[in-house]
Amino acid sequence: MILVTGSAGFIGMHASLALLDLGQEVFGVDNMNSYYQVSLKEDRLKRLTGYPKFKFLQGDLADTKFCEELFDKCKPTHVLHLAAQAGVRYSLENPATYIQANIVAFGNVLESCRKHQVAHLVYASSSSVYGANSTLPFSTTQPVELPVSLYAATKKSNELMAHVYSHLFNIPTTGLRFFTVYGPWGRPDMSPWLFTSAILEGRPIKVFNNGDMERDFTFIDDIISGILSVLHSPPNEGDQKNHNLQYAVYNIGNNRPVKLLNYIKILESEIGIPAKLEFLPMQPGDMQATFADIEPLRQNFGFDPRTELATGIAHWVDWFMDYHALTPTNKRKF
């Protein structure tokens, strides 16, 4: 049994679908919070509930009793922990939410994995942990002691907590530092949704740092391919710096950063409407550029992201238009 936390989320739904299509038993959990519209999470869940090997339980992993009962109920052999409070800017106004969802909940998951002797815990970290680091591409050998957002700090905390549990209790853990994941069923607080809806409504897109930004956009299918390759392969080489054979952290990105203005041009072309741009200064907590060194993941698991940005954006726009029942003649009615 594979426990997928955050199964009603963007990556969680896709990961659950992929596992179910492979014939795996999946137990999903999600707190269904209202950070963005719950209806989108419910629609994602509808794609999973038709599978006889899928079970779901709603609840908060920061609730120790709930987490313990969840593990007692599903008895997972592997855990894919994707549940978290997402978003960098939201953390500036709601810090307590991040402490509970990203640190307290992760501690509960680690402790439950220890009690149930889980074969492998794979969890979501983030490229945001690189923070003030300006050396590109980002490598997992670089120091990450200077986060620039609370969200990033919680993700680095997850890596430290996982290392302790791997070291003390021999729990195999792998952290995956995701780099700007996008694609169908993506979150409304991410740039593809924000920019697409702004273009369709004729509103200006907020372009921070006056457009001088780059992102390593990674299509969801490539992310899922990487997750699946790692999930059933616990660390066997480990972090050489710490000599911990049960612990590993990898970057998982596209390895091809794109300038923000070029990204917007691809969106404009696919939607067929020119964007209005509002240039603004850098926002607190933002990073000027992200660029993943994925060589360790490529060497150990054959990870090879193949989706060009233009192809991925085409899939994104097709899904967005279909999900909102839009057509070329009513795009502006979104």
Instruction: Supply the residues annotated as catalytic.
Output: 151
Contact indicator for 95, 147 with CB cutoff of 8 Å: no
Q: Is the dihedral of CA 161, 140, 5, 97 positive or negative?
A: positive
User: In the numeric block, which tokens belong to residue 141?
Assistant: 């050998």
How far does Cα 331 stand from its chain's mean position?
29
What is the number of other CB atoms lying within 10 angstroms of the CB of residue 259? Answer: 14
Burial state string for 239-249 with b = 16 or more CB within 10 A and e = fewer than 16: beeeebbbbbb
CA nearest to 58, candidates 113, 125, 9: 9
Rg for the chain, CA atoms, rounded: 19
Q: DSSP letter at 137? A: S
Contact indicator for 270, 309 with CB cutoff of 8 Å: no
CA nearest to 98, candidates 83, 113, 111, 79: 83
CA–CA dist 280, 89 (Å, integer): 15
